Structure 1
Amino acid sequence: MIDWSTLHDAYGPAHAIPGLLDRAIGRDQEAIDRLWGRLCHQGTITPASIAALPKLADIAKTEDWALDLAGAIAGGLLQPHGADEEVARCAAALAELRTMAAARLRSGLDGKIYLGLLRATLAFDGQTLWFEALDDFTDSFVTAACPHCDAPVTIAVGDYGCYSSIRDWNLGDVHQIPLRPAAPHELTGTGRMLHEWAVRDGRQRLAWGLTHLFGQAECPGCGSVFGIADEYAAANAPAPWDFARGHTKDAL
């Protein structure tokens, strides 16, 4: 039993959360909006956000809004929220939420809904880096440091082209060099999983973008070639979280 009086949400004491959850089950939009504001205010989570995950997992069996909110909370689990032990207690709920999110991925979904479910699946799996980076590849940019000369290389994937460049804030993306997309059979790990799901569900644009994001780029500064996803992860990935134990895996 959760003692909500000992927890806080984005606005203070979390004693209102149980009542809001009960009201939201009936799809009370005001209650749902207030839950978003209190449990994931501008992407920030609190101990109350984490404590709400098991209840959200139960509601998400029938109501999509709960899965969306739980996914946004999971995407922020590596923030300094001060509730590491609570995260460990939510391991079963997170695994259940991941299964639900992955099961709802299918062809015919609205593009934004599909991408949201895909990102939520990654968040529930502890892959917050790709939760944050995954895009619809209409106008996608990431920055990766060249592993050889350390230059900050801008990677573009979208309607304006697929290239690497050194960004100049006055001149724009100068010295654009076409990316080298990976062949689907060359993909491994997360890239392979995401690409297989995108192909299965007829998301051609997403599949196309993933081959570029998980492909290679040439550094415009020194000419060396590197794996985009590898260098992006090296520069941006937080320490992986062990949900079952409640700490980062490199702390073991």
Structure 2
Amino acid sequence: MSPLTTSGRLNAQVVNWAQMHDCWFDVDRVPELLERVERQEDAEAWKELGCRLVLEHDLVSPAGFAALPRLVRLAPRSAEARGLAGKILERAAGRHGCDDLLADCADAVKEFREVLNRHLGSRPADYLVAFRALLAVEEEYHWANALEGFTDDIHHVDCPHCGVGVTIVIGDFGCYSQVWDGGEEIRRDLRPAVGEELTGTGRWMRHITVRDGQEVLANGIAHLFGKAECPACASVFDVAEEYTSANRPS
């Protein structure tokens, strides 16, 4: 059973912070910081909370999951709360050793989904941050961590047929696959997925971004879940599949 589908308990009980160390292995600082940001916007408190609840790469502390319900309650009115709650959930698939605490947050995660859907519909300035958080809520952890804004995204994959390294570019300067043959650059246009070619996660992601009028994201997703031609051997492969394979944790 998914840890996000069990009944939530952190919403219904007082957290024993003495057992919830943060990334600095303190147990008393996070509740103090939460009280500060609940009273009023406090940039310094938010900055310290971020450092104490999650590390830059893949670590989230027990205090991070313990703080999640309170962050979700702040999320409708606070970009900092939305961003930090999203970062915690983006790391939910990591080796944090807190599956029980994550399971206890099921009610908060459900509430966060509703908050994010309402927020995304308002076409906010922090759309990408909130969209990545929604991907994490839906347990699409790979894309929650990998998705960028498609302004100048560059991905490196290996052609599954000839093995050559291929650069995938999706952004303002074009959408193409690229290899270098000596000093010569060879490009091939990507083939975006259209209509029924989009299925599963890609279809859902594009539906949400089209719904919310996010044309750049919607177009980028169509290319990311489309096809690429290897400029070296002319074989055609699925961009998202090869990108996922190349970036799957070992």
Indicate the TM-score class for this superposition, using the shorter chain for normalisation.
0.7 to 0.9
Counterpart of 1:159 in structure 2 is 172
Deviation at 1:2, TM superposition (A): 2.2
1:30 aligns with 2:44: yes
Q: Give the alignment partner of residue 180 of structure 1, picking from 152, 173, 191.
A: 191
Q: Where does structure 1 lack aligned partners over 5 or more consecutive residues?
A: 240-252
Deviation at 1:37, TM superposition (A): 1.6
| Counterpart Cα distance in 1 of 2:92 and 2:180 | 32
Counterpart of 1:55 in structure 2 is 70
Deviation at 1:201, TM superposition (A): 1.9
| Counterpart Cα distance in 1 of 2:163 and 2:53 | 39
8 Å contact from structure 1 (residues 154, 167) kept in 2? no
- Structure 1 segments, 4+ long, off by >6 Å, are none
User: Which amino acid counterpart does residue 218 of structure 2 have in structure 1?
Assistant: A
1:73 aligns with 2:91: no
Aligned length: 235
| Counterpart Cα distance in 2 of 1:70 and 1:56 | 6
Q: Give the alignment partner of residue 41 of structure 1, picking from 55, 68, 88.
A: 55
| Counterpart Cα distance in 1 of 2:244 and 2:114 | 25
| Counterpart Cα distance in 2 of 1:159 and 1:98 | 31
Q: Where does structure 2 lack aligned partners over 5 or more consecutive residues?
A: 1-13
Deviation at 1:156, TM superposition (A): 0.4
Deviation per CA, 1:120-156, whole angstroms, max 9, x where unpaired? 1001221121112222211001123322233332110
Give percent identity, aligned residues only: 42
SS at match of 2:121: coil
Q: Tell which deviates more after alignment, 113-122 or 23-32.
A: 23-32
SS at match of 1:56: helix
Map 1:53-202 onto structure 2 (within 5 A).
Answer: 53-106=68-121, 108-110=123-125, 113-166=126-179, 174-202=185-213
Alignment TM-score, normalising by the size of structure 2? 0.84
| Counterpart Cα distance in 2 of 1:81 and 1:41 | 11
Counterpart of 2:225 in structure 1 is 214
Deviation per CA, 1:4-57, whole angstroms, max 9, x where unpaired? 222321222121111211111122222222111211232442121122112212
User: Which amino acid counterpart does residue 66 of structure 2 have in structure 1?
Assistant: A
SS at match of 2:191: coil
